[in-house]
Amino acid sequence: MILRLIFRRVLFLFVVIWCASSIVFIIPRLSKTNAIRERFAELSRTGGFSPDDLEKIIASYSKQFGLDAPLWQQYQDYLGNILHMDFGYSLNRYPMTVTQVIVTAIPSTLGLLLVTTVLSFLIGNFLGALSAWPKAPNWVRAMATPFVLLTGVPPIIMGVLLLFFIGFRLQLLPLGGAHTIGIVPDGSLSSYLDLLLHLILPSLALILGSVGGWVLSMRGMGITIQGEDYVNFAEHKGLTGKVIFRDYYLRNTLLPQATALALALGTVVTSAIVIEGLFGLPGIGQALNSAIRSNDFPVIYGIVLFITAAVATLMVAMEFVYPLLDPRIRNQ
């Protein structure tokens, strides 16, 4: 039974990744832009070769990249390559493959994502639960309101506003980059502190931009649970507020909120990417940004596919966490 479920979800995962790959395969071929022509036309503007040579170069490169093969053949090769995690070479940083570009960029993005997502999830849910909890002190309930007001402000704009107020006006924190000029990331304590200082604003932008959503959904659920009979019963049984809060409120909201987290993953990752671009932090976002600026198509497609696969995998993986959170599912 369990095995069949796992099999079905993994199959679903493969279908999702296959669909995304096909979209990424088809779209550039529908467009009349030729990535190679674009690239060499750019080079030829700075001089070097005549238009005749340009056509020859394009033909030779098309052959080398297999772009002269029939579309069906290309599609098969492409899917095969993706299975091997081979997205081809970066046009801009040539000897590097796209996979290498992604692998060098991923650790910092992952770090930023993990810290900000976990923090905003915990803070948001806790504040939301407390704000719906009648016995919570008033100042805690008041604290939730400003966060709710921030729901409409996406992390990118939050980043610009933070840069202006804290980085520019108050000059408290650096305006961008991962290191102060002159400080070499050599693994010493001071270089780590410097990096940490540079990470505060981007993390804050991501956290502030997403906490409000968690507060809102958690509060809505908290209000509903309050009216439930079992909470009433627990109160009459004489359970302390702390126990009711922990075992009745939080426990029952855990599953829907975990589901919401899984659904939000795509948005979370994409906001982290833009924030990285905005703050000039090294990472996937930076790589994507510079690839877009320099028409480095293989890198753009590689990154998009990689993130799609990662998000879809995480979403499916989350489903296997549900039984751990909810005994009702476990018993089924």
Partner 1 sequence: MTDATLVMSLRPSRFWLAMRYIRRNKSLAIGLAVMLFLIAFTVIGFLTINPRHAYPLSAATRQAPSWKYPLGTDFFGRDLLAAMVVGMWQTAAIGLIAGGIGTMIGVFLGFVSAYFGGLIDAIIKTICQILTPIPVLLIQVVVAGSLDKRDVTIMVMALIIVMLGWMGTTLVVRSQVLTMKERQFVAVAKLSGVGSMGIIFKEIMPNLLPFIAAAFVVQVFQAVFASFYLAVLGLGPLREPLLGNIIWSAQGQGAFFNGWWWWPIEPAIAMVLILGSLALINMGLDELANPRVRKSE
Q: State the number of CA atoms in the 13 A half-sphere of 1 facing the CB.
A: 3
Task: Please report whether residue 107 would count as binding partner 1 according to CB under 8 A.
Answer: no
In the complex, minimum distance from the CB of residue 214 to partner 1, in angstroms, rounded to a whole number: 15
Single out the residue of 88, 154, 282, 323 in contact with partner 1 (rule: CB under 8 A).
154
Task: Please report whether residue 85 would count as binding partner 1 according to CB under 8 A.
Answer: no
Task: Please report whether residue 106 would count as binding partner 1 according to CB under 8 A.
Answer: no
Single out the residue of 88, 176, 282, 323 in contact with partner 1 (rule: CB under 8 A).
176
271, 209 in Cβ contact below 8 A? Answer: yes
Of 271, 226, 269, whose CA–CA distance to 248 is shortest? 226
- How much is the CA Rg of the chain, to the nearest whole Å? 25
Single out the residue of 41, 59, 118, 157 in contact with partner 1 (rule: CB under 8 A).
157
Using CA atoms, how far residue 111 sits from 10, 122, 268, 282, in Å, is 26, 17, 13, 12
Task: Please report whether residue 88 would count as binding partner 1 according to CB under 8 A.
Answer: no
195 phi and psi, to 5 degrees?
A: -60, -45
Single out the residue of 104, 151, 191, 259 in contact with partner 1 (rule: CB under 8 A).
151
Number of chain positions touching partner 1 (CB under 8 A): 51
Of 112, 76, 111, 82, whose CA–CA distance to 98 is shortest? 82
Task: Please identify, using beta-carbon distances, which residue of 130 and 291 lies nearer to partner 1.
Answer: 291
Task: Please report whether residue 19 would count as binding partner 1 according to CB under 8 A.
Answer: yes
In the complex, minimum distance from the CB of residue 159 to partner 1, in angstroms, rounded to a whole number: 9
Single out the residue of 231, 260, 270, 282 in contact with partner 1 (rule: CB under 8 A).
270
In the complex, minimum distance from the CB of residue 270 to partner 1, in angstroms, rounded to a whole number: 5
Task: Please report whether residue 130 would count as binding partner 1 according to CB under 8 A.
Answer: no
Could you give the 3-state DSSP secondary structure of residue 65? coil
Task: Please identify, using beta-carbon distances, which residue of 121 and 155 lies nearer to partner 1.
Answer: 155
Using CA atoms, how far residue 155 sits from 147, 163, 235, 319, in Å, is 13, 12, 40, 27
Task: Please identify, using beta-carbon distances, which residue of 6 and 243 lies nearer to partner 1.
Answer: 6
What b-and-e string marks burial along 137-171, b requiring 16 or more CB atoms within 10 Å of the CB?
eeeebeebeebbebeeebbbebbeebbeebbeeee
CA dist., res. 95 & res. 78, Å (int): 20
Single out the residue of 82, 105, 278, 287 in contact with partner 1 (rule: CB under 8 A).
278
CA dist., res. 32 & res. 141, Å (int): 56
Task: Please report whether residue 168 would count as binding partner 1 according to CB under 8 A.
Answer: yes
Question: Any idea which residue has 């996406």 for tokens?
Answer: 154
Task: Please report whether residue 156 would count as binding partner 1 according to CB under 8 A.
Answer: yes
Using CA atoms, how far residue 215 sits from 34, 124, 164, in Å, is 47, 5, 26
Task: Please report whether residue 272 would count as binding partner 1 according to CB under 8 A.
Answer: no
The one-letter amino acid code at 301 reads Y
CA 104 to chain centre: 17
Q: Which stretch binds partner 1 (CB under 8 A): 81-89, 131-139, 183-191, 272-280?
A: 272-280
Single out the residue of 10, 28, 76, 80 in contact with partner 1 (rule: CB under 8 A).
28
In the complex, minimum distance from the CB of residue 19 to partner 1, in angstroms, rounded to a whole number: 5
Single out the residue of 62, 74, 289, 322 in contact with partner 1 (rule: CB under 8 A).
289
Binding site for partner 1 (CB under 8 A): 12, 15-16, 19-20, 23-24, 27-28, 30-33, 151-154, 156-157, 160-161, 163-164, 167-169, 175-176, 223, 263, 266-267, 269-270, 274, 277-278, 288-289, 292-293, 297, 300-301, 304, 307-308, 311-312, 315-316
